[in-house]
Amino acid sequence: MGNPVAPLPFWWVQPAVVSAGIIVTLCVAAATILTNRRIARIKATLDMIEATESKEYYQKLYATYRRYRTNPSFRNEVLSATEEGEVLKSLHACWDYLNHYELVAIGFRKGILDEEFYRRWMGYAVVRDFAEGTALIRKARAPGDEEAYIELEALCAKWAGNKLPPETNASA
């Protein structure tokens, strides 16, 4: 039968080293996944910003919305638009401009876009455009679509805190 091998006093070292190696590998993998997700969110955010800053479609929407914000008589025309024509197209362009912000807010909530990065670049403009567009939002919500722009409203309340004037409550 031969001589039985005496148990080694450090029998536990090899399993401990293997276990430690597995744990370290898992930690590195988790850190890599989290880093890659953050990079992907920032890249998606940059792509969104680049699209809105450079594409003619968004530039036209912005020009219409800016006219709405800065020209009181145009604002009144847009808010009273009911019949087919250029003014109604302008109303829809203003809504489309705000839809972009709604999409961005949903992207933040779903973890697709990087909120901190976007806020540093566009935070002031988002809150300003929301505050100056609340009449448009109320018009979009009446009747039957009470959920229009709720993500944008929640985002602006979060970003502006108590700095939004009471008349910007689009739910009123």
pTM: 0.78
Segment 11-29 shows an average pLDDT of 87
Q: What are phi and psi of 8, to 5 degrees?
A: -75, 145
Band the pLDDT of 170: cuts 50, 70, 90: low
DSSP 21-33: HHHHHHHHHHHHH
Per-residue model confidence (pLDDT) at position 1:
56
Band the pLDDT of 52: cuts 50, 70, 90: confident
Element housing 124 (H / E): helix 115-132
